Amino acid sequence: MAARSDADDAPVERVLVITRIFDAPRSLVFKMWTDPDELVRWQGPRGFTTTIVAGDLRPGGAYRFHMRGPEGDHWVQGIFREIVQPQRLVFTHAWSDAQGKPTGPETVITVTFEEVDGKTRLTLRQEVFESPTARDLHRGGWTSSLDRLDEILATAR
């Protein structure tokens, strides 16, 4: 029997799952998530710019992003828990202030990359949110970011 985590028991209304098909090879989509030069091109909703303040892509390594949007600055940070190239990324996510002090609860993001007929099925799962409202705000941000990613991948075809 597989081990269970607290997240397995999370109420569905506090878990975000987004699945997208990208018309690009899995290795390229994975690279867009792990290469700092590529990541900053699409990370963050439309109208945002992202700067990587710290990025140590290894299990136990930390990252920190500064996203500047129309309404101001946003900081996010976390720890990479698992990196299986080109199949899976698992990392924590927490909003923080400019000094790195967390300003909200931590969630865990799991991104899987599956090859499907030369395309990539990406599934993003983020859990556990403090409320359905917080989940829905993240859905909007991720959807916009993934739209930007799709546009960049389209120019690579």
**What tokens were used for 157?**
């075809």
Q: Give 93-101 contacts, CB < 8 A, sequence gap 24+.
A: 93/126, 96/64, 98/73, 100/64, 100/75
Every domain of the chain and the residues it spans:
14-156
pLDDT reported for residue 9: 67
Q: Quick one: what percent of the chain has pLDDT higher than 90?
A: 91
Instruction: State pLDDT tens for residues 1-13.
Output: 444 444 556 789 9
CATH entry, 14-156, from 3.30.530.20, 1.10.274.10, 3.40.1020.10, 3.40.250.10: 3.30.530.20
| pTM of the complete model | 0.91
Instruction: State pLDDT tens for residues 11-43.
Output: 899 999 999 999 999 999 999 999 999 999 999
